[in-house]
Structure 1
């Protein structure tokens, strides 16, 4: 179950914005104290196209309160519900 779910924006290095909904969760902390996090990003209908060759690329995920976190796209799935990107957090969770 997600520990955070809200409208969010995926920002590419060139400034392109993709709007959608993020469902994010944290995992138990590592021995060094870092807390890994991951989740899904569902692209909003009419939000434009998913960034080309997104898998393996790093993006900024911006939450409604203005906080951001670095994410790497793990996979892209096209389904009945639209396009969903699987994300892996790169730094501290922004939520």
Structure 2
């Protein structure tokens, strides 16, 4: 399982950008298919709690090297460390 952690940006369909940090992982592809990938996104302090009502919505995850990937927000966790969005990747992983 590959892991990847970097600063990133969530881009909503309406053009709203949410900066933060993504921690992503991928698993081996099955029979030559696209490798599944997922991870967490923690909005930066300047972004507040991130996008409003994000669960079930599709976003574009932008990485600093120019890589992008489509993600669906699977869940939202709030705690002492702030808000964390659980992401499920679509298509090929961008890392």
- What's the TM-score bracket when you normalise by the shorter of the two chains? over 0.9
Q: Distance in 2 between matches of 1:28 and 1:40?
A: 19
Q: What residue number does 1:66 align with?
A: 66
Q: Distance in 1 between matches of 2:52 and 2:45?
A: 17
Q: Distance in 2 between matches of 1:54 and 1:32?
A: 32
| Matches for 1:34-49 after TM superposition, within 5 Å | 34-49=34-49
| Matches for 1:1-95 after TM superposition, within 5 Å | 3-95=3-95
When the two chains are superposed, the root-mean-square deviation of aligned CA atoms in Å is 1.4
Q: Distance in 2 between matches of 1:77 and 1:67?
A: 26
The answer for unaligned runs of 5 or more in structure 1 is none
More deviation in 37-46 or 26-35?
26-35
Runs of 4+ residues deviating >2 angstroms: none
* CA 24–13 in structure 1, closer or farther in 2 if over 3 Å, else same: same
The answer for unaligned runs of 5 or more in structure 2 is none
Aligned length: 95
Using the size of structure 2 for normalisation, the TM-score is: 0.93
